[in-house]
Amino acid sequence: MEKYLYIALFAPLVSSMFSALFTNGPKKQFVGIIASLLIFTAFVSSSILLTHILDGGESVHVEMMTWMHTGNLYIPFGFVVDQISVTMMMVVTLVSTIVHIYSIGYMDHDKGFNRFFAWLSAFVFSMMILVMSDNFAGLFIGWEGVGLCSWGLIGFWFHKNIATWAANEAFIMNRIADLGMLIGIFLVYWNTGSLQYDIVFPAMAHLDTATLSWIGIFLFVGAMGKSAQFPLHTWLADAMEGPTPVSALIHAATMVTAGVYLVVRSNELYSLIPNVGLFIASLGAFVALFAASMALVNRDMKRVIAYSTLSQLGYMFAAAGLGAYWVALFHLMAHAFFKALLFLGAGNVMHAMHDELDPFKMGGLKKVMKGTWIMMTIASLALAGIFPFAGFFSKDTILEAAFAEHHMVIYGVLVFTAGLTAFYSFRLVALIFHGEERYKIFGIHPHEAYKFMLIAMSPLLILAMIAGVFQVPFFDMVEEILGAKEYHILSHTTVWIMLIGTQIFVGLAILFAYKKYASWSTVPDGSSPMENSFIYKLLYNQYYIPFAYEEYIVKPYNELSAAMWEIDKKVVDASVDGIAKAFYVTGEKTRDMQSGNLSTMLKWMVAGTVGLLSLAVVFGLVARYSDEILAILSGLGV
């Protein structure tokens, strides 16, 4: 089994390095194909590992080599495949295989075709390290690796200023959060003397609650950055500047769920500190609502989907915070399938519309893009949580968990958000695919994407439809490691009322969205009363949070930096330069001594001798009469 572990881990690395060989050359079709094949190999290996685990096999634990071994510190390059990591590996490799194949078509006309695959495969490798590592140090390496690759891919079109800006924003926001995570890891090491999961977590049972809370909080700060939770959420929407396959793979399906993975992986820690868990759940529920509200009015197709990702991450944290780790992981998996599908569909639409992102400028695309229409509708149904699609099972279990844990506020917020989710998803679908063909005003001739791209997307389509059937096997698999419990609410009647009530609520939201937007005929120009209302403006400007960050953090920081720069120039630079200049000037002045005239040289020699002699005399006298001199000095009161 170890063989398959290594293949799953290193095939993406090989793929990345192979693609990187051709980075500077012209586009080569085979680079994309070989990269996809290698990622597919990793997927097959992961599947073999999954069947091994499903058959009740032992978790695979290998220690590839020693990384650090000094004093009491021992950190190996160790990897573990257990129920949690094998789930993540399946999600990562499956979605990335599909995204790799899809990208062959999507990046077809791009000059950076080869470079794209190098970065994308490097991302998969980092993500595999993140999920497979058996210690926090390896996790951190993967964590930083995915951050780096995310930076490279958001800023992939580096000639666009806004793309590089977004890439930097994402990286810096993540670095801020990573500091929290590092502190958390240090605290873990400080208190348990190890970073290995299988040593750390058992040891935590003996620590006091305060320490554990701090560890939990700091680790969660790291998770907040990577999963773009409030208040570090602004980067995710801006990250949509990257190519759409990147958004699908990194900013929907895998990287942003790393925070959820961290909380699930540390479930033994968070079970010991229910207060921090409750905070996580509350923050998750808040973000779910907060992000969904921003998605309601946004006029950028990819940003709407990004906010919905944010909102769904909120659901996952709500579940994880309430102790329903398996539900969080299950929703993570289901979400990866339908959200990647949604993004890839959006990529098709973007290609068809020549990179136009405003759904108000589309409309009626279902006639020309039938395949994409069906896929995006089903993905949206899954996202909205309509029976029998994937989202229904995962999201409904989260709601049940909240209800069964008697957190009615969280439950209420999540149910309400489910309605909002349905509304904005179908607002998007209705605006893009139904109604009048508003794109004709702009002289665009849309066309359907390549057939192989649609075929590549079809596994996601199937999974978005049927992922619900995995719920029971998944539960059985992770039960042992996550201490999973099924949520049974007192009476069956209550369950049915909740289920049907939610379904009706969501259904009504969908109908409302269709009714309002399916026959839309104009492109809004900012003059309607709705667009001028306070709430619309508040939501459209993302609660003015990016504005506030710009105004109250970035600008003062810039000014501070400018002031510091002045200080740097006048104090630090000036003193360093001064030393150099002093030598230079001395040299320049004393150069005249070397006139080459022997007579002058002899004079200098005599002068030097006299100087040294006088010094010797003075020091000799001082040494001889030191007692007297000291007496005089003390008399002067020195």
Comparison of 458 and 597: residue with beta carbon closer to another protein: 597
CB of 613 to another protein, least distance (A): 12
Residue closer to another protein by CB (options 193, 608) is: 608
The tokens of 374 are what? Answer: 């069906």
State the nearest-atom distance from the C-beta of 165 to another protein, in Å.
56
The residue with tokens 């809370």 is 213
How many residues bind to another protein according to rule CB under 8 A? 10
Segment near another protein (CB under 8 A); pick from 27-35, 312-320, 528-536, 597-605 = 597-605
Instruction: State which residue, 488 or 603, has the beta carbon closest to another protein.
Output: 603
CA-closest candidate to residue 306, choices 349, 365, 247: 247
CB of 587 to another protein, least distance (A): 11
Q: In 3-state terms, what secondary structure has residue 196?
A: strand
**Closest to another protein by CB, 561 or 609:** 609
Q: Which of 596, 623, 628, 634 binds another protein (CB under 8 A)?
A: 596
Give the shortest CB-594-to-another protein separation in angstroms. Answer: 3
Among 494, 522, 586, 595, binds another protein (CB under 8 A): 595
Q: Per CB under 8 A, does 591 bind another protein?
A: yes
Residue placing its CB nearer to another protein in the complex, 571 or 606:
606
- Minimum Å gap between C-beta 603 and another protein is 5
Collapsing DSSP to helix, strand or coil, 371 comes out as helix
- Which tokens in the block code for residue 45? 């290996």
> Among residues 564 and 613, whose Cβ is nearest to another protein?
613
Cβ 157 to another protein, closest distance in Å? 59
In angstroms, give the least distance from the CB of 612 to another protein: 14
**Is the Cβ of residue 585 or residue 602 nearer to another protein in the bound state?**
602
Q: With contacts defined by CB under 8 A, name the span among 190-198, 439-447, 577-585, 598-606 that binds another protein.
A: 598-606
d(CA 336, CA 354): 26
Contact 173, 256 (CB under 8 A): no
Burial 127-145, CB ≥16 within 10 A → b, else e = bbbbbbbbbbbbbbbbbbb
CB of 602 or CB of 633, closer to another protein = 602
Q: 570: buried, middle or exposed (CB in 10 Å: 19+, 13-18, 0-12)?
A: exposed
By beta-carbon proximity to another protein, the closer residue of 605 and 630 is: 605
Contact (CB, 8 A) for 464 and 393: no
Helix (H) or strand (E) holding 67: strand 60-70
Q: Which residue, 587 or 637, has its beta carbon nearer to another protein?
A: 587
Among 597, 620, 624, 630, binds another protein (CB under 8 A): 597
DSSP states along 414-482: HHHHHHHHHHHHHHHHHHHHSS--GGGGGT----PPPHHHHHHHHHHHHHHHHGGGGHHHHHHHHHHHH
- When binding is defined by CB under 8 A, the residue of 24, 491, 575, 599 that contacts another protein is 599
Tokens of 506: 């969501």
- Span 15-44, contacts to another protein by CB under 8 A: none
Secondary structure in 3-state letters for 483-552: CCCCCCCCCHHHHHHHHHHHHHHHHHHHHHHHHHHCCCCCCCCCCCHHHHCHHHHHHHCHHHHHHHHHHH
CB 106 within 8 A of CB 245: yes
CA torsion, ordered 83, 84, 86, 92, to nearest 10 deg: 160
Site string for another protein, 605-624 (x = CB under 8 A): -x------------------
Which of 406, 404, 382 minimizes the C-alpha distance to 394? 382
Minimum distance between the CB of residue 183 and another protein, rounded to whole angstroms? 60
Q: Least distance from C-beta 604 to another protein, angstroms? A: 10
Q: How near is the Cβ of 623 to another protein at its closest, in Å?
A: 23
Rounded Cα distance between 393 and 389, Å, is 7
Taking contact as CB under 8 A, which single stretch among the options 227-235, 455-463, 588-596, 630-638 is the one that binds another protein?
588-596
Instruction: Give, in order, the Cα–Cα distances in Å from 494 to each of 419, 505, 508.
Output: 20, 16, 21
Instruction: Report the site for another protein in 460-499 (rule: CB under 8 A).
Output: none
Least Å distance, CB 606 to another protein, is: 6
Instruction: Write b or e for each residue in 252-289: b if 16 or more Cβ atoms lie within 10 A of its Cβ, otherwise e.
Output: bbbbbbbbbbbbbbbbbbbbbbeebbbbbbbbbbbbbb
For another protein, the binding residues in 225-284 under the rule CB under 8 A are none
Within 10 A of 390 (CB to CB), how many other CB atoms are there?
Answer: 31
Say how many C-beta atoms besides its own lie within 10 A of residue 328's C-beta. 31
Kindly compute the dihedral angle of the four CA atoms of residues 90, 95, 96, 100, in this order, to the nearest 10 degrees.
Answer: 140
Site for another protein in 324-353 (CB under 8 A): none
From 12-20, 30-38, 74-82, 596-604, span contacting another protein (CB under 8 A) = 596-604
Contact between 301 and 358 (Cβ < 8 Å): yes
Stretch that binds another protein, among 115-123, 374-382, 383-391, 593-601 (CB under 8 A): 593-601
Distance in angstroms (rounded) separating the CA atoms of residues 506 and 395: 12
Site for another protein in 69-88 (CB under 8 A): none
C-beta of 205 vs 602, nearer to another protein:
602
Identity of the residue, 57 or 611, whose beta carbon is nearer to another protein in the bound complex: 611
Query: Measured from the CB atom, is 6 or 583 closer to another protein?
Result: 583
Q: At residue 496, what are phi and psi to the nearest 5 degrees?
A: -65, -40
Residue 561 vs 594, nearer CB to another protein: 594
Segment near another protein (CB under 8 A); pick from 253-261, 292-300, 476-484, 601-609: 601-609
Closest CA to 400 of 498, 473, 484: 498
For another protein, which is the closer residue by CB, 160 or 603?
A: 603
- C-alpha span between 551 and 539 (Å, rounded): 18
Q: Contact positions toward another protein, by CB under 8 A?
A: 591, 594-599, 602-603, 606
